[in-house]
Structure 1
Amino acid sequence: MSGLKLFRTVTTNSGMTEVMPRLAEIEADVQRLVEAHMETLLGVRFLASEYSTGPVHGGRIDSLGLDENGSPVIVEYKRGVDAGVINQGLFYLAWLMDHRAEFEHLVRDRLGVTAASQVLWSGPRLICIAGDFTRYDVHAVREHRRSIDLVRYRLFGSDLLGLETVASVSGGMQMARRVRGRTVARVADAQHASMVELAGAVDEALLGLGDGVHRVERKQYRAYQRLRNFACLCPPQRSKLLVYLKVDPKDVHLVPGFTRDVSGLGHHGTGDLEVQLRTARDVERAQDLFRASYAAA
């Protein structure tokens, strides 16, 4: 990892020993590890490995998945540095956009009819996981109008995996999705102008947490993600906003009317902690919770 050093505390005179980072012996080792824990690591539900694109196209997609917002995801792996990983991934992404029915059939088989009916084709994603990337790779992804994440991996010792986002672009995912001819913001404006202003303040706060934050517009919510969702903002109600965060409610002092444990309860978006916002002061009070959720994503 770039600039990261990891140490193990020991009871010797030296006090600590450094755990040296290493690359996998073969690319398939990285692929197997990520596929086995894809939802935990990337927020992506695993669909298929080494998926054939057919004899005409003549390729195999390393991993196919569906993220928390219903966006199709292609994951490509390289053991070290490979200048072709981005172009290879974009090649497969173009194939995927031309074979939507085939992908939806796969989702239906693996995850059910509901998931297949909610695939979000406005924001397909490519995640490239490799030992490292060059500055030319970073520049290249910023020139594309696709959602691409470059993720550097390192193995530490026998049981630690580190992932670091090197570059992230959102492509078309920041464009507002239309709802019955109106955007979510316009619907909210009709409900209550002050809530629209408050939603703008929340949007600014969440986008300002760091680089590589993407907005994903769905009918029922707006998601904010790095590799995974860390916040979901629902359309404004008459007198409050609801934000769902990836924070364990057990680690939070819950305040009635402000924070609520919704683990196990159905709601739009993702996250087990519900934050209720009514005023600008509430947004300020929620900043530490926003940061904690962002750091965990």
Structure 2
Amino acid sequence: MKLFKLNKTNLNEVEQIPFKLEKDIQSLVEVNVESVFNLKFIQSELSVDKYRIDTLCFDEENNSFVIIEYKKGKSYSVIDQGYTYLQLLLNNKSDFLLVLSQHFNKVLRMEDIDWSQSRIIFVSPSFNSYQKDSVNFKGLPFELWEIKRYSNDTVVLNEHRSNSKESIETLNPTTNSTISQVSKEVKVYTEDEHTSKMNKTILESWIELKEELLELGGVEFVPKRHYMGLNFEGTNVCYINFRKSHILIDILGGTIYPDKSKSRNFLTLEDHKNFTSKRSRILNSGGNQISYRIKFDSNSDIDYVMLLIKQSYKSKN
């Protein structure tokens, strides 16, 4: 990819500035992990057993741990390291729970964490074809992000996506393998698993609404355990919960922190028809997450629902 700066009618190429050290990437990501990945930074260089984790984060939307690893070289196996670190997390739950409890200064229980949503993020200036192919399976709890830095103070993060419909478990039938052990507890969900519970009428309404949502541009649907998120550039616009005869849509307003400050681009929804109900959820960090719930069914006004959702979408632009 070439990057240019427009100077009137001339294009001046912007030079790439390579990262000298993995630590340079780590420091940059850790300071900005909330805006980049929508995660809470917990601890750097955490030692557990005989391993050292680069960055430990927490996903407050899913109450799950996220481990971030940084790489500059290409002589390592993403798949092996990813499963090893997930196994480390699952085999040492009490250690991770203690670190999290100390960070939030509150007593947390095992059931407060959704261990099934644990995942690993790898960040590197580049990944070779072998590394990309090794994670080209559906349902893997890994993310590969390439990071580039340029001379005009621009940083670009690009995620490598899997396009395979094959599960890695079909290639490794050994019941006591690391992959099998992790796969018993960590799960990546699909849209079909959510929509399968719907009756035909609401399913048809969902297909119509989904087409409208895709027209927003730059959005993707990210299935999680309890909901499916509508994301714009990694930031949730709304949560979508599927029921047999209706859909619950929670439009995200933002978070009010304990010091009364608000998250960036905090949204107060304009709803002149009073179609939504305001909701709040206390996060482990102490923040109060505000959302606006829509009960969507086959009789709902899709145009008005889209008008409401677009307010959150535009606030993320």
Q: TM-score, normalised by structure 2?
A: 0.66
Distance 1:272 1:53, change over 3 A: same
RMSD of Structure 2 on Structure 1 (CA): 4.5
Q: Deviations over 1:88-115 (max 9, x none)?
A: 2322111111111221222211123358
Q: Which residue of 2 aligns with 1:231?
A: 238
Deviation at 1:34, TM superposition (A): 0.8
Question: Which of 183, 186, 189 is equivalent to 1:174?
Answer: 189
Question: Which of 247, 252, 256 is equivalent to 2:272?
Answer: 256
Q: Secondary structure at the match of 2:115?
A: coil
Question: Which of 20, 24, 27 is equivalent to 1:32?
Answer: 27
Q: Which residue of 1 aligns with 2:127?
A: 133
Q: Which residue of 2 aligns with 1:106?
A: 99
Q: Deviations over 1:139-187 (max 9, x none)?
A: 21124753111101011236332111112589722169x9xxxx8975x
Q: Deviations over 1:26-85 (max 9, x none)?
A: 11011011111211111111111111122xxx2211111111311211111013544434
Distance 1:205 1:10, change over 3 A: closer
Q: Which residue of 2 aligns with 1:217?
A: 225
Q: Deviations over 1:3-39 (max 9, x none)?
A: 35242x557xx75533222221211011011111211
* Mapping for residues 66-215 of structure 1, pairs under 5 Å: 66-67=58-59, 68-79=61-72, 81-111=74-104, 112-113=106-107, 117-143=111-137, 145-157=139-151, 159-167=153-161, 172-174=187-189, 194-195=201-202, 198-199=205-206, 202=209, 213-215=221-223
Answer yes or no: is 1:282 the counterpart of 2:296.
Answer: no
Q: Which residue of 2 aligns with 1:22?
A: 17
The answer as to whether partners of 2:220 and 2:230 remain within 8 angstroms in 1 is no
| Residue type at the aligned position of 1:27 | E
Distance 1:30 1:287, change over 3 A: farther
| Residue type at the aligned position of 1:266 | S
Question: How far apart in 2 are the matches of 1:60 and 1:283?
Answer: 51
Count of residue pairs the alignment pairs up: 275
Deviation at 1:127, TM superposition (A): 0.5
Distance 1:74 1:206, change over 3 A: farther
Question: How far apart in 2 are the matches of 1:89 and 1:165?
Answer: 16
Q: Secondary structure at the match of 1:108?
A: helix
For structure 2, list consecutive stretches of 5 or more residues without a partner in the other structure. 168-185, 255-264, 284-288
Q: Which residue of 1 aligns with 2:3?
A: 5
The answer as to whether partners of 2:72 and 2:124 remain within 8 angstroms in 1 is yes
Question: How far apart in 2 are the matches of 1:133 and 1:224?
Answer: 27
Question: How far apart in 1 are the matches of 2:129 and 2:157?
Answer: 18
Q: TM-score, normalised by structure 1?
A: 0.70
Deviation at 1:217, TM superposition (A): 1.8
Question: How far apart in 1 are the matches of 2:272 and 2:144?
Answer: 40
| Residue type at the aligned position of 1:76 | E
| Residue type at the aligned position of 1:282 | I
Q: Deviations over 1:230-285 (max 9, x none)?
A: 43114559876323257957698x442388796xx615997767666444651796
Q: Which residue of 1 aligns with 2:280?
A: 266
Distance 1:159 1:114, change over 3 A: farther
Q: Percent identity?
A: 21
Question: How far apart in 1 are the matches of 2:66 and 2:295?
Answer: 31
Q: Secondary structure at the match of 1:95?
A: helix
Deviation at 1:216, TM superposition (A): 0.4
Which deviates further from its counterpart, 28-37 or 229-238? Answer: 229-238
For structure 1, list consecutive stretches of 5 or more residues without a partner in the other structure. none
Question: How far apart in 2 are the matches of 1:46 and 1:93?
Answer: 18
